Chain A
Amino acid sequence: MQLALPRGLSDHCPLVLSIDDENWGPRPLRMLKCWESFSGYNNFVRDRDKWSSFQVEGWGGYVLKEKLKLLKVALKEWHQSHTQNIPARLVFLKEKIEALDLKGEAAALCEKEIEELHDCTEELFSLSRTNSSICW
C-alpha cells in the first residue's frame, strides 16, 4: 500500500510504502471440519434453529448475502461456546477425573459421582479426538 501524507514544510509529500500481512481485506469465513462432530451443529446451522430464523427482506441474492452474514456471527458465538479453548477444557476434564479417582480411593463414590466420572471420561476421549483432528 502506497500512501501520501501532508507535505508540511516541503513541496513534496512524504510517501509511505507499507506491506502488512495482516491486512488482506475482509476476513474470510473459517469453517472447522470438527464442528460437524459436535451434536447439534447440523440442526444449529441448517434446520429450524438459525437459518430460517433470520428475517431478511429483499431480492433473493440480497437475502442470501445477509443471511450468510448473520450466520457468520451466529457461528462465531456457537464456536466460542462449543469448541473454543479445547485444550483448557481437556485439562479441566482430566483434573475432574483425577479428583473423582482420588475420592473413589478414599471412599465409595455415590451413583451420581460414578455417572459424572463416566461422562467426563467419555467427553475427554471425544474432545481429544476432535482436538487432534483440527487442521489449522
Chain B
Amino acid sequence: MWALFTMKIISWNVRGLGSFEKRRDVCQLVRGKKPFILCIQETKLPVVDVSVCKSIWPDVNVDYSFQPSLRASGGLVTLWDANEVEVWSSMSFDHVLVILGRFLKTGESFVLVNVYAPCDIYRQQVLWNNLSNKLVSFLDQNVCICGDFNAVRCLEERRSVGSVFNQVWSTNFNNFIEGNMLVDLPLRSRNFTWFQGDGKSMSRLDRFLLSEN
C-alpha cells in the first residue's frame, strides 16, 4: 500500500564517494530534500564507516548498511534516518543490497532493494534471475527496487551516437519488470538520468520500480 503514507527515498549513482567534494554534494542534496532513506550506488569504497555516513548525512541519527566495492568498482550503501525508519535486517548478494524494515510513523513495512546492475548483458541476466528468485519470498510486501539498472526499456530511453540499440538487452529488462509485476513510475522533469557529458549520449539508466500492491 505504497500510496497510503508520506515518505521520501533518494537513489543516486554518485560515481565514487571517496572525495570530499562528492560527499559535500551528497550532503547538500540530503539537507535540501530530507529523505527517509538514501540509496547510493558506486561508492567505490571497500569500507563504508560511520565517519563516511556522518559526512554525508550529519543532521540526523543515521544508520546504514553497505556492500563493499570490488577494488575500485561498484559498492552500495543504503542509509536511513533512524528516527523515521526502523530496519531489522539487511542482506546482500551480487550487485544488490536489501534492507527490510518499517516506517516508524505509519508502521508500514517495506523491502528496499538497492541495485547497481553490471553493464554486460550476460551478467545482467544472471542478476535479473537472482533478483526474481529473491522477490518470490517478498510476495504481498511493499517492495521498492531502485538504483542504476544499466539498461533501458525502449529505444526512446536512450540517445547515443555510433552504437546500435540492443533490443535483446531491453527485452530482458522488460521481462524482469513484467515478470515480477513491478510498476515503472513515469519520470518527471526530464527524459534521461545519465549523461556522458558530450551533449550527445544520454540514457535513462536509473529508476524506481515498485511492487503492485
Say whether A2 contacts B8, CB under 8 Å: no
| In the assembled complex, A28 has its CB within 8 A of some CB on chain B | no
Taking a contact as CB atoms closer than 8 A, the residue among A9, A12, A20 that contacts B193 in the complex is: A12
Say whether B190 contacts A18, CB under 8 Å: no
**A19-B187 Cα distance, complex, nearest whole Å:** 14
- Residues in B neighbouring A13, C-beta threshold 8 A: 12, 190, 192-195, 206
- Residues in A neighbouring B22, C-beta threshold 8 A: 9-10
Say whether A2 contacts B207, CB under 8 Å: yes
- Residues in A neighbouring B195, C-beta threshold 8 A: 7, 11, 13
Taking a contact as CB atoms closer than 8 A, the residue among B6, B8, B13, B33 that contacts A22 in the complex is: B6
Say whether B146 contacts A15, CB under 8 Å: yes
**A13-B146 Cα distance, complex, nearest whole Å:** 13
The 0/1 profile, CB within 8 Å of A marked 1, for residues 4-39 of chain B is 111111111111000001100100010001010000
- Residues in A neighbouring B99, C-beta threshold 8 A: none
Contacts A2-B187, A12-B148, A14-B29; is A19 near B12 (CB within 8 Å)? no
CB distance from A105 to the nearest CB of B (A): 53
| In the assembled complex, A40 has its CB within 8 A of some CB on chain B | no
- Residues in A neighbouring B4, C-beta threshold 8 A: 21
Tell me whether chain A's interface is mostly helix, strand or loop, or mixed. loop
How many residues of chain A are within 8 Å of chain B by beta carbon? 21
| In the assembled complex, A106 has its CB within 8 A of some CB on chain B | no
- Taking residues whose C-beta sits less than 8 angstroms from the other chain, chain B's interface range is 35 or more
- Residues in B neighbouring A2, C-beta threshold 8 A: 185-188, 207-208
CB distance from B17 to the nearest CB of A (A): 10
Say whether A17 contacts B21, CB under 8 Å: no
- Residues in B neighbouring A8, C-beta threshold 8 A: 25, 29
Say whether B6 contacts A12, CB under 8 Å: no
Residues of B within 8 A of A (CB): 2-15, 21-22, 25, 29, 33, 35, 41, 144, 146, 148, 185-190, 192-197, 205-208
Contacts A10-B13, A12-B148, A21-B5 given; 13 further ones with Cβ under 8 A? Answer: A2-B186, A2-B207, A3-B187, A8-B29, A10-B15, A11-B15, A11-B196, A13-B12, A13-B190, A17-B185, A18-B8, A19-B5, A21-B3
Residues of A within 8 A of B (CB): 1-5, 7-22
26 A-B residue pairings within 8 Å (CB atoms): A2-B187, A2-B188, A3-B189, A4-B190, A5-B29, A9-B14, A10-B12, A10-B13, A11-B194, A11-B197, A12-B12, A12-B148, A13-B12, A13-B194, A13-B195, A13-B206, A14-B11, A14-B29, A15-B10, A15-B207, A15-B208, A16-B9, A16-B35, A17-B8, A18-B7, A19-B2
